[in-house]
Amino acid sequence: MTTPDRTVAWAVLDSPIEQLLLTTDGVGLSRVWFAPFDHVELRPEARDDHHPVLAVARRQLDEYFAGERRTFDVPLSPGGTPFQNQVWDALRAIPYGETASYVEVARAIGRPTASRAVGAANGRNPIAVIVPCHRVIGSNGLLVGYAGGAARKRRLLDLETGALQLG
């Protein structure tokens, strides 16, 4: 997988959990990926740690990891289908430190039988952490279906509930 051609600028954030790659299409934040980034082709000349969208995203993520931010208002530009965007919007409505099941998200978007499709959209979320797909769990309470892996999901949830203290 490579970054879409619409990537205008990118930057790396050294978070307390691990490095994150942030990209923008010039309008909004288009990607937040966990390291390693060896699957991503980036133009070196497009690195821009001071791009306005990336600067806002970096500041807000730093505040999140410091326990000072619970919601994000950086402009987003994730792409995706209308259904995926509906799911991603529903994920952003899950409160900090709380979780919801795939079934609950499906109900929230008015598609109560679409929990598998919600899971697929969740797995394709291009903006990790800010669009909090880590807050979606199985109906049985298990940490399932996180593209970033169960260990990352647990660390993010522990950070939000205060079970993990960083820095």
Task: Judge contact between 144 and 135, C-beta under 8 A.
Answer: no
For residue 75, being part of any structural domain is answered with no
| pLDDT-based confidence at residue 150 (cuts at 50, 70, 90) | confident
Check residue 133 and report its DSSP letter. G
CA distances from 104 to 77, 94, 107, 115, 116 (A): 25, 10, 5, 8, 12
How would you classify residue 141: left for phi > 0, otherwise alpha for psi between -120 and 50, otherwise beta?
left
CATH number, domain containing residue 61: 3.30.160
Q: 69: helix, coil or strand?
A: coil
94 and 135, same domain (yes or no): yes
157 and 89, same domain (yes or no): yes
Catalytic positions are 133
25 and 50, same domain (yes or no): yes
Model confidence over 65-105: pLDDT tens digits?
999 999 999 999 999 999 999 999 999 999 999 999 999 99
Task: Judge contact between 21 and 33, C-beta under 8 A.
Answer: yes
Flag whether pLDDT at 6 surpasses 90: no
| pLDDT-based confidence at residue 41 (cuts at 50, 70, 90) | confident
157 and 88, same domain (yes or no): yes
99 lies in which domain range? 82-161
